[in-house]
Amino acid sequence: MDILNEINPEYITDKKGKKKSVILPIEKFEELIEDIEDLAAMAERREEPTISHDEVIKYLKGNGLI
């Protein structure tokens, strides 16, 4: 997948044609911000202990959540 084709950015350039800024559709901008926030949350939690899928199911069933 070519992400640039998907988000269709427009560029603002200086007099020499050097890209200085980018314009994105607001929907794509908001999606990118959400992705960045998700990645930051995962990075913050990467050292936390994990539990197995079976343990999660057992916990949820034990608490009447599923």
Residue 26 contacts residue 15 (beta carbons within 8 Å): no
Over residues 19-58, the pLDDT tens digits come to: 999 999 999 999 999 999 999 999 999 999 999 999 999 9
Res 1 pLDDT > 70 = no
Distance CA 26, CA 23 (A): 9
Q: What is the DSSP letter of 18?
A: -
**Which among 20, 34, 2 has a CA at the least distance from the CA of 10?**
20
pTM value > 0.75 = no
